[in-house]
Amino acid sequence: MLDSQKAMKKKEGRSNLETLFGVKKTPGTDQVRKVLDNIEPKELYGAFDRALGIAGDGGVLESYRVLEGTMPAAPDGTWYFSSKDIHREHCLTRKTKKRDGGGGALYYHEMVDAVAVKPGRPVVVLPLIPEFVRNEDGKDKQDCERNAAKRRLKTHKERYSALKLTVLGDDLYRRHSVCKEMREAGMNFLPACKDESHPWIAEQVKYPFLQKHENTVWNGRNHIVYRHKWVNGIENRADGEIMKVNYLYFEIYNVEKKKTTYKNRRDNKPRNQ
């Protein structure tokens, strides 16, 4: 943001900071950090709520509805700071490899961000409240993205219940404990599912009782086959609990090139075409 304001002032003679907020001199990164570091994240929740409220009043939220009126939301973990030298008590840490500079500690900050999305829509997303991955005082075990995702679901389930979210995401969101939190929050979920992470699910979908549908279209250059396979009511097991879930496999196959160009499941064995 600061770089863009400096570039605007150089090009236009004035920046938005100056015209909108009366800031005559663009602050440096360290100055901004000194101010923001003292603000608790929850103090900014209202800004997200107001933005969604404005989007709702303008009919924007309804334009994101798919899948029986639900709204797809894509969460993911993202780093927003890292350093080998600068760190504080709440920083996360990991060991660096020798090829990256010597096997020392790398300090970083991470958060679980999420946005409402819609297939085929121009790149315009609606941000939802993030959850920070951070080490808390008195806890020996380092925080992680999975725990942050579960905290986020517990903290904001009432806030987002009216949105009727369908949570997308990577394989982390297929973990039983996270699925349980999403279900208790009244959310649907459609995350990725890796064979190595969920061998019991992978075993159940090997057999030929999956329902199938495919259609072929000509894109002007090649015949493209869209293949869907699914089954309802398979078991997601963990910690002695069983949760009934549905499974969907999707792939795109190019007939002329004899090549699968996309599939939503990364399995361990080549799949017959």
User: What does pTM read for this prediction?
Assistant: 0.78
Mean pLDDT by 10 residues, the chain (273 residues): 81 84 82 83 90 91 89 92 88 80 82 89 83 80 91 89 90 89 91 86 80 95 95 86 91 96 68 37
Q: Please, which residues bridge with residue 113 across strands?
A: 76
| Residue matched to tokens 């780093």 | 79
Euclidean distance between the first and the last CA atom of the chain, given in angstroms as a whole number? 48
Extents of the domains making up the chain: 28-192, 193-273
pLDDT at residue 270, rounded to an integer: 39
Return the closest-CA partner of residue 79 out of 132, 153, 142, 36.
132
What is the enclosing helix (H) or strand (E) of 173?
Answer: none
**SS3 at position 135:** coil
Give the whole-angstrom CA distance, residue 77 versus residue 31.
26
The pair phi, psi for residue 60, each rounded to 5°, is: -70, -40
Is there a contact between 118 and 61 (Cβ–Cβ < 8 Å)? no
pLDDT at residue 266, rounded to an integer: 62
Give the whole-angstrom CA distance, residue 142 versus residue 167.
25
Q: What is the DSSP letter of 118?
A: -
pLDDT at residue 212, rounded to an integer: 92
